[in-house]
Structure 1
Amino acid sequence: MRKQFEWREDNKVELLVDGENFFPVMLAEIEKARYSLLLEFYFVSSGVITSRFVQALIRAAQRGVMVKLIIDDFGSYRFSNADRDVLKAVGVEIVVYNPLHVSKFTRNFARDHRKLLVADQRVAFIGGTGLSDVYWLADEAGCPWHDLMAQIEGPVVTDLVSMFNELWQRCTAQVLSPGGSVEQKGYSKVRVCTVQGLYQQDIKASFLKRVNSANNNVWLMTAYFLPSFSMRHALRRAAKRGIDVRLIIAGPHTDQPWVFHASKRYYSRLLKAGVRIFEYQPRFLHAKMSVVDSWASIGSCNLDHWNLRWNLEANIELHDEQCLEQMTQLFNDDLLHCQEITYENWSKRPWHRRLKETLWAWISHLVLKIR
């Protein structure tokens, strides 16, 4: 088990909301890169926005930039061979994490769910996006997906490089340059926090610590709400002692309807304890963000059973007044597009909805028992 990353001072963090805002900035940094580009994405699907990234990476490689790309085998099954081949032809190195194979049995469940871009070991982007038109363009109702990325400059970028290099070495046995020191850029105090399946769950442990010591508010935004018992217990305890506990959860627009129904099994006890639950209505809420008092976390982890059991995940935690204001404003703006679930209305839902929730909750429980 790797040691935990330390808090880093003097960073600059900016919250970027939705693909229309973060994709152009990410592409601009790729175009500016002169030395190295490190990319790690779970969901990669060929299409309009991915083609823009492919062409930008080709241009970077042709001007001599070292380009390394880690993609998850399951998450990238719609990333065409044609796109992969044109990247490889110009020298882009692609690593496929944990290729699927029937002989691996349950080890096939272990996925790289992280989302990361580092340009010249100078600026990084981390959050919930993939490279897909569902974050950019889509014909289906409820799209494009609502998601977040954080743009980071400063000393903490060296830890994100270290995290990438560690996985690259694990997959290839190649040791990449650790890079040099990164100059101070701002006033944010930032820490990289990770999950590596059951072996390391820093993100969960850190969130629970903050919730258990909260003084004012616990706000959580997540796409898939299948929290562990310890998380449910912590949220209920916080609400009972008067903390403002609010959850924004994906509503009817979702890519995993079974999770939407299975998650309902947890509503009653949380609502009884005073936790306020809001379901996001306009489109699929894919963002993963939490704000507890003056602390915040953003990244790839949904804090659900599946993420914490099987996946590689990466978040950043931060203390930054300006970024906290951005996150607070976003949370309040998104509440305007939510339907609040009250205990009174929830207890009156029809029997067929209760049956569907019970069925999917039972199935999810069985799945999580898989070893």
Structure 2
Amino acid sequence: MTASALTTGIVLLHLLGVFAAMHAVMHARTPQGAIGWALGLMLLPYATLLPYLYLGSSRFLGYRVAHPIQPSHALPAAPDALPADPGCARFAAISALQGRPFRSGHRLRLLIDGEAAFDVMLAAMAAAEYCLLVQFFIIHDDALGRRLQQILLERAAAGVRVCVLFDGIGSHALPRHYVTTLRTGGVAIHRFATHRWRNRLQLNFRNHRKIVVVDGTRAFVGGLNVGDEYLGLKPPLAPWRDTQLELQGPAVADLQQLFADDWQWITGAAPPLLLPPPGDGDASALIVASGPADPQETGSLFFTAAINAARQRVWLSTPYFVPDHAVRAALQLAVLRGVDVRVLIPARPDHRTVFLASTMHAHHAVRAGIRVFRYQPGFLHQKALLIDRDTAAIGSMNLDSRSFRLNFEVAAMAVDRAFAADVAAMLTADFSHARAVDEREYRDAPYLRRVAMHVARLFDPLL
């Protein structure tokens, strides 16, 4: 290559870097992300242009526009047995954000850890008579994955309409023969992927939702994926601490519709949808959905609004504690109001960079008066939120920028004193197996580890 050709190539790379930097400044969701990308693209385009192509977009384009659910496919709202709990009123902003009301009449059951949760979920799937909707971020071809596969095949053979979604990145290790076997057996199964041309090169976006709906009457949401590690069978993260929620009542229709949104984006057709029967339970509930196609920062706004509504306590359990400014400020303000604020995080890392950033955020939280605890027995993957003595949420949302802005997520928020008491008892047991974080965790760490924490925090918008 001649010197002039090399010079021309360098100039072109820098020009492309400048144009990409302009795009980053115009479209990045956070100022930190815009500054980081812009500086990298202008100063080191050789190293940042390709990553920006795959990681730079912060909007999932076309999701709501390309294949809207037609009115004939959409479920009508199930009739509520009674008016929603009066306590729902203080979460009116979350209801408005979701565009649907809290609904009454729900039966709720906590399913604690993988063995108990999968025993109930797989038994419910095996009893399906009409329709089975299944969505997980990760499905592995291991013992648990093959148990799921067998049940899906049996239900399809019995004439049940079975629809399965899995995330293409989360389930990247799922072998083709696993999917082929299901399709051959009559199961409609698809990989959720950014397959439209405007999103084709993006690796940032993931469908992190975990939804199971059986015959339109029973639904499950939470943190569990399909893999032996979620049963606590894979050291060094074992035992695995997680929680799932079983829900019966009108909000099951909202979970079906949420699955239908994702299904139609991939297939262009609607899945089978069944109207749930009228609810006969005591809990009021709202399905909270978020994703990178939302016009607002739905995930962050959900946590911020919920924390701001608290007057007695905010207990949080999350595997990744990388809050944005709004959530961090809400937690600090809650402390200043005299609210009992506790955050439960893992003592063991599954992702080193996120763990380092979480440690840095935990240090700042402790300095602000927030009580932070590290769960000791095994890896903590649970996503739970407890507000005061009447409200709790269980779902797939982590407390990090990825869940706030880059992942499709779902949670069920319930206003019910009995259910909140169950969640409080569960978290009390978790805190009893945790160690309080103090300033020494950061101060006594080796210097290079502290540097690594600060460097990891620079990547907050991508974590």
CA deviation string 1:288-329 (max 9, x = no partner):
000011221110010311111211000010012221111111
2:339 aligns with: 243
The reply to whether residue 217 of structure 1 matches residue 217 of structure 2 is no
Shifted more, 47-56 versus 171-180: the winner is 171-180
Secondary structure of 1:277's partner?
strand
- Structure-1 separation of matches of 2:232 and 2:309: 41
Amino acid of the structure 1 residue aligned with 2:155: A
1:297 aligns with: 393
Q: Aligned to 1:310, which of 397, 406, 410?
A: 406
- Structure-2 separation of matches of 1:103 and 1:5: 30
* Structure 1 residues 12 and 201, CA gap change in structure 2 (3 angstroms): farther
- 1:172-321 correspondence runs (5 A): 172-197=267-292, 199=294, 200-252=296-348, 254-293=349-388, 294-321=390-417
Instruction: Give the conservation status (yes or no) of the 8 Å contact 1:113–1:312.
Output: yes
Deviation at 1:178, TM superposition (A): 3.6
Shifted more, 254-263 versus 8-17: the winner is 254-263
Q: Aligned to 2:253, which of 154, 158, 175?
A: 158
Which stretches in structure 2 are left out of the alignment for 5+ residues? 1-63, 65-96
Secondary structure of 1:107's partner?
coil
Instruction: Give the aligned CA root-mean-square deviation in angstroms.
Output: 2.1
Deviation at 1:345, TM superposition (A): 5.4
Secondary structure of 2:238's partner?
coil
2:158 aligns with: 63
* Structure 1 residues 164 and 365, CA gap change in structure 2 (3 angstroms): closer
% of aligned pairs identical?
30
The reply to whether residue 127 of structure 1 matches residue 198 of structure 2 is no
Instruction: Give the conservation status (yes or no) of the 8 Å contact 2:401–2:461.
Output: no
- Structure-1 separation of matches of 2:234 and 2:301: 39
- Structure-1 separation of matches of 2:373 and 2:157: 48
Instruction: Give the conservation status (yes or no) of the 8 Å contact 2:240–2:381.
Output: yes
Amino acid of the structure 2 residue aligned with 1:44: I
2:80 aligns with: none
Aligned length in residues: 366
* Structure 1 residues 267 and 215, CA gap change in structure 2 (3 angstroms): same
Instruction: Give the conservation status (yes or no) of the 8 Å contact 2:156–2:185.
Output: yes
Shifted more, 206-215 versus 224-233: the winner is 206-215
Instruction: Give the conservation status (yes or no) of the 8 Å contact 1:5–1:193.
Output: no
2:426 aligns with: 330
Deviation at 1:172, TM superposition (A): 1.2
* Structure 1 residues 3 and 275, CA gap change in structure 2 (3 angstroms): closer
* Structure 1 residues 31 and 61, CA gap change in structure 2 (3 angstroms): same
CA deviation string 1:244-274 (max 9, x = no partner):
110001112x321211111222233321221
Instruction: Give the conservation status (yes or no) of the 8 Å contact 2:103–2:286.
Output: yes
CA deviation string 1:185-229 (max 9, x = no partner):
311100000111262443432321221231110110001111101
The reply to whether residue 95 of structure 1 matches residue 190 of structure 2 is yes
Secondary structure of 1:262's partner?
helix
* Structure 1 residues 9 and 90, CA gap change in structure 2 (3 angstroms): same
Deviation at 1:182, TM superposition (A): 2.1
When you count helix as a share of all residues, which structure comes out higher?
Answer: 2
Instruction: Give the conservation status (yes or no) of the 8 Å contact 2:311–2:337.
Output: no
Q: Aligned to 1:79, which of 160, 174, 179?
A: 174
Secondary structure of 1:46's partner?
coil
Which stretches in structure 1 are left out of the alignment for 5+ residues? none
Deviation at 1:137, TM superposition (A): 4.7
* Structure 1 residues 195 and 201, CA gap change in structure 2 (3 angstroms): farther
Secondary structure of 1:109's partner?
coil
Secondary structure of 2:379's partner?
coil
Provide the TM-score with structure 1 as the length reference.
Answer: 0.93
Structure number with bigger Rg: 2
- Structure-2 separation of matches of 1:106 and 1:38: 28
Instruction: Give the conservation status (yes or no) of the 8 Å contact 2:359–2:453.
Output: yes
Provide the TM-score with structure 2 as the length reference.
Answer: 0.75
Amino acid of the structure 2 residue aligned with 1:240: L
- Structure-2 separation of matches of 1:203 and 1:359: 25
Instruction: Give the conservation status (yes or no) of the 8 Å contact 1:239–1:245.
Output: yes
Deviation at 1:230, TM superposition (A): 0.7
CA deviation string 1:148-190 (max 9, x = no partner):
1000111111111111112111211102344224221311100
2:13 aligns with: none
2:207 aligns with: 112
When you count strand as a share of all residues, which structure comes out higher?
Answer: 1
Instruction: Give the conservation status (yes or no) of the 8 Å contact 1:43–1:72.
Output: yes
1:50 aligns with: 145
